Chain A
Amino acid sequence: MDLGARKLYLGYLIPGVAKTGRQSGDGMEQSGEHRIPADRATVWRSLNDPAVLARCIDGCQSMERLADNRFAATVKARIGPVRATFDVALTLARMRPPESYVLEAEVKGKAAGFGKGSAEVALADAGDGATLLSYRVVGRVGGKLAQIGARLINGAARKMADDFFSAFHEAVDPARSRTPATNPP
């Protein structure tokens, strides 16, 4: 579960539409880019805002900032037949606001397994006040997640990323900022 969660997190942070997804026997790799209708500063700020993240991550039950660059979250997620509540530790590293950073995630799901991974996230001006977010995620899962979820994880990560970005769109879109999207519980 951890890994799935981790991938999911990475996905949250990074992808809109995953352009490539690959899974070898030795871990997951995904990359993609997403156009976000907000300027870089807004996108950067939102990506570092636990409240925004919590709202955009499906199944997020809590999101807490432990330090400037560290977050702890609890996320209920399901990957194929594996469903569990995951403890997620997120660390933001190599911060170059508002251009790029690396998100490191460690996900623990107790009996469901674990995950580890990192996402390189880059922001670029896309014109018209929009931002192009590109990402590359590498990760691996272990325990039950790897045993029965391995082949499902790319798909699950992609879906979580898509879900994240559609929520994130709404959260940062200035046109919608008066009525922020509410995520289903």
Chain B
Amino acid sequence: MSAETGIGAAVKRREDLRFITGQGNYTDDLNVPGQAYGVFLRSPYARARINAVDAADALQVEGALAVFTGQDTAADGLGDLPCGWLVKSRDGSDMVSAPHPPLAVSQVNYVGEPYGLVVAESLAAARQAAERVDADFEELTPVVATARAAQASPIHQGLEDNLAYDWELGDEAATDAALSAAVHVTRLDLTNNRLIPNAIEPRAALATFDPTNGEYQLRTTSQNPHLERLVLSAFVQIAPEHKLRVVAPDVGGGFGSKIFVYAEETVVTWAAAKVGRPIKWTAQRSESFLADAHGRDHVTHAELGLDEAGRFTALKVSTTANLGAYLSTFGSSVPTYLYGTLLAGQYKTPNIHVRTHGVYTNTAPVDAYRGAGRPEATFVVERIIEAAARETGRDPAELRRLNMIAPEDFPYQTPVALVYDTGNYQASLDKALRLADYAGFGQRRAASQAAGKRRGIGFSCYIEACGLAPSQLAIQLGAGVGLYESGEIRVNPTGSVTVFTGSHSHGQGHETTFAQVVSDKLGVPFDDVEVVHGDTGRVEFGLGTYGSRSLAVGGSALICASDKIIAKGTRIAAHMMQAEPDSVAFEAGAFISGNQRLTLQEVAFAAYVPADYPPDLEPGLSEKAFYDPENFTYPAGAHIAEVEVDEATGVVQLANFVAVDDFGHVINPMIVDGQVHGGLAQGAGQALLEHGIYDADGQLTTGSYMDYCMPRADDVPDFTVDTTVTPCTHNPLGVKGCGEAGAIGSPAAIINAVTDALGTEDITMPATPEQVWRKLRGL
């Protein structure tokens, strides 16, 4: 409706005032009467047998209430933490799941794995008591390195090896044949570095149990509280769903790491009833490093075949993916269905085969992290194309253009299962080339050289698949949950609107964007629309936020619910206006028939005070919808990075970065820009700075900000961000999703620029000054 607040308006985020004034409502801000505090006991060993845990001394600490171990949770029948996606190996067998008890019972398998919970009157007492717990471990030989894990002796008792699955997608024979026949084959070995998520708000939980009605309430840092409730009820079996309420209040960033159902929230909830007291646990930053699910960690060999003209004939990819010590909630799907399916990229490569070995190691579980599989796929495709362009003496932009799926090719069936509905990849590339002044790069390179620096330029034309869907297909492929989203719209008697969404905001700005959508659709003032999310007690059901799905799936559900509101309102209005429903139109918040006009507010009032009301219609004006997409959405774009390398120090300065993205229609361009900026900064972090490193003993040596380098403002340039638009063809908003694109496209662009500057393909992420300095000196 309004140009200032409707679809397409850069409305300032209404949630930001409370965030930036310290009024946010984060889990650790909440306190309840009688609250006790929990501290987890964590393994100092990568792999060890637990011989005994002696808590006698700990319980002597004043204020200590209880110490629970894995023996206690197991004895009480607490179930294992499940992995929600069953991946099958190429031979048809199910993946091998190592049992994942919430607290380690007889063996710990990564540094930081919780094996006990200490509960005390105060946090200080809980910490003091935790210091006094005497655990007797027998150290076992750990398996750490990704590339060698499959051959190493099994870390889990009862498993034959460390292979969770050996998955494949695509036609191997055809791909091999095409590679054999190729005029040129580019081969590349790639490592996708392990990342540690580092949301600004650490994970936290505040659990209460009400013995008068048997109800648990868990307030926690979750991206999808309904999934958490489902898992804790159906699998861990803490309490049935109607006796468990999960609330995710304000959540300060997730990037995927808060999708998963973790041990800590689980055990704290269980323990609240055992102790008979509310229990709060908030992770220290050092715990987050150890025990949040990590991201990436692939080792890959790829081969790309080209014909005489430079057309891609085949892509063959073999990846070993480190899954960590246990399969996290969606860990199995990330290096398979979210990775292999994206290897066509934006190109018409006719033959693609991918094989992924998912391996167990004695490291923290690995799961979805911003992009989740798609940055890894993009890195493979875009790195090898850049290398192929260099090897065959072609312009990297033109080689891409030559192979791109053309606008008239849509819908396009890739050889790796997906059907792209729409796109215009050339348009994004053209715009990016212009914004990056590609024509002027030679001059800039010469200027850098004159200043003793090497300049490089790199491209990345990424594609991603967002809004995982449809449910039926995903479930056939092993997903344990549906992939729809729910929305409910209540038009209150006075005409204000309360919107309930099963999607969840932990920084994305739903309270603003979703209000824009509903306000626009129903023609009610923006300020009259309130968005409620993140509470299983208020929202019927939902699947939360991940995979850039919120607007495409959750927003679409709200459109569907709005349509139902309009349909019912039309019947009420027709009755009131004594008109045929067919003659009533809904425009800008009013029902119109001929020269008669009733506002939505008037109709809503009539619906709740049905004096003059259709006899065959229920009172009230509240509607729900579940929206199940018929396909993924396919955001895509062109990223161009320019770097300057200091020969003396090896420091890589990201000099310029252009991102042109096609997200379909944009609801709030300011929020979209912000999402892209954040994603690009994370991608720059992966490419240049961040690296989660375990030593040979499985000790995390990058466990604090002293050793794990996060990007800062001066590590990134003033990004040039723009869009092109091909609306998604199958959702009512025509939107695709923008949350992950920056992190998906940028690492490959930056490394392509670094390798261009250095004249070698042999650079691994992160391109630290030390590595670059050595390469410059041939070391």
Binding site for B on A (CB under 8 A): 24-27, 84, 110-114, 140-144, 146-148, 150-151
Q: Interface on chain A toward B: helix, strand, loop, or mixed SS?
A: mixed
Contact B699 A146, beta carbon cutoff 8 Å: yes
A25 vs B45: C-alpha distance in the bound complex, in angstroms? 16
Q: Which residue of B lies closest to A23 (CB)?
A: B701
Least Cβ–Cβ distance between B620 and chain A, in angstroms: 56
Contact A147 B41, beta carbon cutoff 8 Å: no
A25 vs B41: C-alpha distance in the bound complex, in angstroms? 25
Contact of B45 among A110, A111, A112, A142 (CB under 8 A): A142
Contact B693 A111, beta carbon cutoff 8 Å: no
Contact B697 A114, beta carbon cutoff 8 Å: no
Contact of A111 among B46, B111, B131, B707 (CB under 8 A): B131
Given contacts A25-B693, A142-B45, A147-B289, whether A110 and B131 have CB atoms under 8 Å apart is yes
Contact of A147 among B111, B133, B697 (CB under 8 A): B111
Contact of B695 among A26, A114, A144 (CB under 8 A): A26
Contact B286 A110, beta carbon cutoff 8 Å: no
Residues of A with C-beta under 8 A to B43 = 143
The list of the 3 closest CB pairs from A to B, nearest first, reads A143-B44, A147-B703, A146-B699
Taking each of B290, B695, B699, B706, which has the highest tally of chain A beta carbons within 10 Å of its own beta carbon? B699
Contact B697 A142, beta carbon cutoff 8 Å: yes
A144 vs B131: C-alpha distance in the bound complex, in angstroms? 12
Least Cβ–Cβ distance between A34 and chain B, in angstroms: 29
A131 vs B169: C-alpha distance in the bound complex, in angstroms? 69
A148 vs B700: C-alpha distance in the bound complex, in angstroms? 9
B494 within 8 A of A: no
Contact of B134 among A25, A110, A146 (CB under 8 A): A110
Residues of A with C-beta under 8 A to B325 = none
Least Cβ–Cβ distance between A116 and chain B, in angstroms: 9
B52 within 8 A of A: no
B141 within 8 A of A: no
Given contacts A26-B697, A146-B701, whether A84 and B131 have CB atoms under 8 Å apart is yes
Contact A25 B44, beta carbon cutoff 8 Å: no
Taking each of B130, B133, B290, B695, which has the highest tally of chain A beta carbons within 10 Å of its own beta carbon? B695
B31 within 8 A of A: no
Is the interface on chain B under 10, 10 to 19, 20 to 34, or 35 or more residues?
20 to 34
Contact B132 A110, beta carbon cutoff 8 Å: yes
Contact A142 B111, beta carbon cutoff 8 Å: yes
Contact B131 A25, beta carbon cutoff 8 Å: no
27 contacts between A and B (CB under 8 A): A25-B693, A26-B695, A26-B697, A84-B131, A110-B131, A110-B135, A111-B41, A113-B44, A114-B45, A140-B695, A142-B45, A142-B46, A142-B111, A143-B42, A143-B44, A144-B44, A146-B699, A146-B700, A146-B703, A147-B289, A147-B290, A147-B700, A148-B286, A150-B701, A150-B707, A151-B706, A151-B707
Contact B133 A110, beta carbon cutoff 8 Å: yes
B696 within 8 A of A: yes
Residues of A with C-beta under 8 A to B60 = none
A112 vs B289: C-alpha distance in the bound complex, in angstroms? 16
Residues of B with C-beta under 8 A to A141 = 699
Residues of A with C-beta under 8 A to B134 = 110
Contact A148 B704, beta carbon cutoff 8 Å: yes
Q: Which residue of A lies closest to B289 (CB)?
A: A147
Question: 1/0 per residue B27-51: CB within 8 Å of A?
Answer: 0000000000000011111100000
A143 vs B44: C-alpha distance in the bound complex, in angstroms? 4
Q: Which residue of A lies closest to B694 (CB)?
A: A25
Taking each of A110, A111, A141, A144, which has the highest tally of chain B beta carbons within 10 Å of its own beta carbon? A111
Q: Which residue of A lies closest to B700 (CB)?
A: A147
Residues of A with C-beta under 8 A to B131 = 84, 110-112
Least Cβ–Cβ distance between B119 and chain A, in angstroms: 16
Residues of B with C-beta under 8 A to A27 = 695, 697
Residues of A with C-beta under 8 A to B45 = 114, 142-143
A76 vs B181: C-alpha distance in the bound complex, in angstroms? 69
Least Cβ–Cβ distance between A18 and chain B, in angstroms: 21
Least Cβ–Cβ distance between A97 and chain B, in angstroms: 32
Residues of B with C-beta under 8 A to A24 = 695
Least Cβ–Cβ distance between A106 and chain B, in angstroms: 11
Residues of A with C-beta under 8 A to B132 = 110
18 A-B pairs besides A111-B42, A144-B286, A151-B706 with CB distance below 8 A are A24-B695, A25-B695, A25-B696, A26-B695, A84-B131, A111-B130, A111-B133, A114-B44, A143-B45, A146-B111, A146-B701, A147-B111, A147-B289, A147-B700, A148-B286, A148-B703, A148-B704, A148-B706
Interface positions of B from 571 to 589, Cβ below 8 Å from A: none
Taking each of B41, B42, B44, which has the highest tally of chain A beta carbons within 10 Å of its own beta carbon? B44
Contact B699 A147, beta carbon cutoff 8 Å: yes
Least Cβ–Cβ distance between A136 and chain B, in angstroms: 20
Q: Which residue of A lies closest to B128 (CB)?
A: A111
Contact A25 B701, beta carbon cutoff 8 Å: yes
Residues of A with C-beta under 8 A to B290 = 147
Interface positions of B from 551 to 602, Cβ below 8 Å from A: none
Least Cβ–Cβ distance between B321 and chain A, in angstroms: 22
Taking each of A112, A114, A147, which has the highest tally of chain B beta carbons within 10 Å of its own beta carbon? A147
